[in-house]
A and B are shown apart, each in its own frame.
Chain A
Amino acid sequence: MKIHVTGYGLISSIGTNAEESIESLRNLQTGIERGKSEATKAYNLGAIHLSNDELKKRFDLKTDGSRTALLGMVAAKQAFEGHELSENIRTGLISGTSVGGMDISEVEYKKYLDQDGHNPENYKHHSSGTSSDQIANELGISHFVNTISTACSSAANALMMGARMINNGMLDRVVVGGTDSLTLFTISGFKSLMIFDEDWCRPFDDSRKGLNLGEGAGYIVIESEKSLEISKKQPLALLSGYSNASDAFHQTASSPDGHGAKLSMTEALRVANIKPDEIDYINAHGTATPNNDLSESQAIQSIFKDRIPPFSSTKSYTGHTLAASGGIEAVFAILALQNGYLYPNLNFKTPISETGLVPQTTFEEGKEIRHVLSNSFGFGGNNSTIILSAT
């Protein structure tokens, strides 16, 4: 069964919608910069410079929620713009997040520790499931809501589950993607793992030191043929391949030979029923950690052999937006299919010595892009691959 994409929306440090994002991508304009507050000034981050109140005002958000939920509402609303609810189209929302409402909870918990104005009411936003409820509420979707929490592969897994629920006849149309806001919790967490780059991150570069965190949200709308007949929406792309596999190597590190990544890419190609040489662009997970980029490169070489398509990580633009990354990058993939874009891997100089691979370094448009492969790999060895194709 064909899974049609009929909408997309995103917000990140490089833009609050697709048009702004394309401008940044075209102009090689990264959203990563030094943090501005006391808590963030030691880090390079892809932050969105809009407060929660500004988000609510600017995007006319009616539902209250954590920053994660609000960012999700912005992107999901964009994606669902012009879609109408109908009792003949069973519509769901599946959202990925790793922090949920932690942006509020961590502030409240400090008040608890300091015994200073602690208000347990505020934990009502904490649960990841609740952030999805809030996003669904903003869109008026009430038939089915789910939240996937598999760290950095969450949004990609949400896309996969949405497609499978359509294939299994359980839903007709699903808003799928992910959202995560910057939190002290995650900033401290990645700091404790010592995998930050103190400078601007360098995906796939031999000198890469680590990642820069980012925040954002990205969602797409997928529909069955039956739903399309009723909604009469114009298909923008096809969600043709998807897969999830476990690396089972280590809690946080990827296997050196990229075993899990190989499994997920191979299976996604099988689901899409296309050969590796039909992929025109790979949007890599490419976090710029020494471990991921080597592991992912090995996996790419193993599958694509001597016909490696143009590939890049867009994380030196947006930062690593954790659970949102698969959703944001799915939107980038769709824009690439529609406009023939190839995105550069910013801040690259020297290929990784073990592989010699050179990513795409310029922004191009008008290329023939029929199939895009997008990787998202999460902690716990959770490896996911999505393939989006031209209609």
Chain B
Amino acid sequence: MSELKETLKAQIIEQLNLEDLTVADIADDAPLFGEGLGLDSIDALEFIVLLEQNYGIKIADPSEGKEIFQSVDSLAAYIEKNQ
């Protein structure tokens, strides 16, 4: 699980073009949207692309994303469950 989380962080940095961040900068449970990293609705769509491209998981309704993308923890849990 922790390897998945580290990989995820690297993928997030790349997909969202977070140029100045390293994997070490993203805490597992840090909120990704709103405060924390301050990501927005476009980033949520990029997450959907990331999940499909890297894990073959399709999310058809963007509003489902809110729960799933809360943090690296919740993302990793979702991937484990749905792969």
Contacts and interface: CB of A to CB of B under 8 A. Distances in A.
Instruction: Give yes or no for direct A-B contact (beta carbon below 8 Å).
Output: yes
Task: Determine the main DSSP class of B at the interface with A.
Answer: helix
Interface of B: 40-42, 45, 48, 62
Contacts of B42: 251-252
A289 to B, nearest CB: 12
A194 B62 contact: yes
Task: Determine the main DSSP class of A at the interface with B.
Answer: loop
B31 to A, nearest CB: 19
Contacts of B41: 250, 252-253
B40 A192 contact: no
11 contacts: A192-B45, A193-B45, A194-B45, A194-B48, A194-B62, A250-B40, A250-B41, A251-B42, A252-B41, A252-B42, A253-B41
Contacts of B40: 250
A191 to B, nearest CB: 11
Contacts of A251: 42
* 9 shortest interchain CB distances as A-B pairs: A194-B62, A253-B41, A194-B45, A193-B45, A250-B40, A252-B42, A251-B42, A192-B45, A250-B41
Contacts of A193: 45
Interface in A235-274: 250-253
Contacts of B45: 192-194
A380 to B, nearest CB: 13
Contacts of B48: 194
B62 to A, nearest CB: 5
A192 B46 CA distance: 9
A252 B46 CA distance: 14
Given A194-B48, A250-B41, A252-B42, 8 more contacts: A192-B45, A193-B45, A194-B45, A194-B62, A250-B40, A251-B42, A252-B41, A253-B41
Nearest to B48: A194
B34 to A, nearest CB: 13
A299 B3 CA distance: 48
Contacts of A194: 45, 48, 62
A250 B42 CA distance: 10
Nearest to B61: A194
Nearest to A290: B63
Nearest to B46: A192
Contacts of A253: 41
Nearest to B49: A192
Nearest to B40: A250
Nearest to A209: B61
B45 to A, nearest CB: 6
Contacts of A252: 41-42
Contacts of B62: 194
Interface string A190-217: 0011100000000000000000000000
A115 to B, nearest CB: 25
A326 to B, nearest CB: 25
A253 B62 CA distance: 14
A192 B48 CA distance: 10
B60 to A, nearest CB: 8
B66 to A, nearest CB: 14
A171 B31 CA distance: 55
Interface in A54-76: none
A235 to B, nearest CB: 45
A192 to B, nearest CB: 7
A252 B62 CA distance: 15
B18 to A, nearest CB: 17
A194 B41 CA distance: 11
